[in-house]
Amino acid sequence: MALSTAFWDSQALLTANRIGVFEKLAGTSMSAEALATEMRADPRALRLLLNACVGLELLTEEQGSYANASATAAFLVPGGPGYLGNAIRYSDNLYATWGQLERAVRDGQPQLPTSQYTGDSDALTRDFVYGMHDRALGIGRVLVELVDLSNCRKLLDVGGGPGTYSALFAQQHPQLHAQVLELPGVAAHARDILQAMDISERVSLLPGSFRDTEFPDGNDVVLISGVLHRELEPMCRELISRAAASMQAGGRLVISDVFTDAGGCSPPFAAMFGLNMLLTAEDGGVHADSDLVLWMQQAGFEVAAPLPFPPPMPHRVICGTLQG
Ligand SMILES: C[S@@+](CC[C@H](N)C(=O)[O-])C[C@H]1O[C@@H](n2cnc3c(N)ncnc32)[C@H](O)[C@@H]1O
């Protein structure tokens, strides 16, 4: 029963985020009536939503006055360094798509084509890119600690999205220059983000599809993060081979993603993530990290054991060094 109603919890969070409850409660507490007046909402209905949010530990309530819980203040109020509201809005955009899971399972097709949120719809694209940026600011700070690029001068970031990882690596290593190969619709938003991070001089954009854009050569390191879960084995192998061809022996390939263990059923989040990608990308799914290790080895890389990110981050990173 808990599983069958878990979407209630999701929708309460998504709605509160969408209508701006957490923003309105930033640094203050308010009654349901006062908040309803400000938000032009029905007071009785809003109180039910606020009470549900208290149950979810998103809000606190004292004598009829509601306030943000501390994690909400840290992650759901716009402007804070840990803000995840854009990422939550992107989940919100996928709520109806998840309702089409039966159709996806029957016909094997995504119910939200990639083109919709990588250029065709400006609103969806913006939420996708800024949602990735929000998440990457957290995950990327871990990645730059896990992967030492102090000997690298040239980084190619394939499907680099907002460019946040490249930017964080470049901030960490003053000698590093990065190129972000990304679809033009996404790259347009990435340009704004890189400018706001004041790193455009060392992180440049290469707008195009990795399907038909040649990789620049002379890379010391190629990063493929969050991309291979959108591709089937042949394209994964092709991207790995092209990464190898773009570097000298000793060059590095860093692949970061959500992976399952061998067999595909665990961890549970990774198996669910495969469904999310089925719903949202033409060749979407999830790979086992052991498959990636094998494909990298067969392309000539010596590969270290996959490193898990600290919980609750579901990602793992696989690093390889090209052999002579
Ligand atoms: C989940 S995002 C990962 C973004 C970023 N690397 C990260 O880890 O946050 C996958 C990215 O691959 C990009 N992408 C998908 N197909 C692509 C293609 N054919 N050429 C270039 N980029 C592509 C998408 O636009 C998206 O930004």
- Per-residue confidence (pLDDT) for residue 314, from 0 to 100: 94
Q: Is 151 in the pocket of ligand 1 (CB under 6 A)?
A: no
Does the domain at 6-82 match CATH 1.10.10.10? Answer given as: yes
Low-confidence ranges of the chain (pLDDT < 70): none
Instruction: Classify strands 247-258 and 29-31 as parallel, antiparallel or unpaired.
Output: unpaired
CATH number of 95-322: 3.40.50.150
Q: Are 41 and 16 in contact (CB under 8 A)?
A: no
**Joined tokens for residue 35:** 């908040």
- pTM here is 0.95
Rounded to whole angstroms, the Cα distance separating 254 from 216 reads 17
Distance 235 CA to ligand 1 centre (A): 14
Q: What pLDDT, in 10s, does the model give residues 159-183?
A: 999 999 999 999 999 999 999 999 9
End-to-end Cα separation, the chain, in angstroms: 56
Q: What pLDDT, in 10s, does the model give residues 117-145?
A: 999 999 999 999 999 999 999 899 999 99
Q: Is 119 in the pocket of ligand 1 (CB under 6 A)?
A: no
- Per-residue confidence (pLDDT) for residue 58, from 0 to 100: 98
Question: Which helix (DSSP H) or strand (DSSP E) does residue 258 occupy?
Answer: strand 247-258
Distance 181 CA to ligand 1 centre (A): 9
Q: Is 166 in the pocket of ligand 1 (CB under 6 A)?
A: no
Q: Whose CA is nearest to atom 4 of ligand 1?
A: 161
Domain ranges of the chain: 6-82, 95-322
- Per-residue confidence (pLDDT) for residue 128, from 0 to 100: 96
Amino acid identity for residue 148 in this structure: D
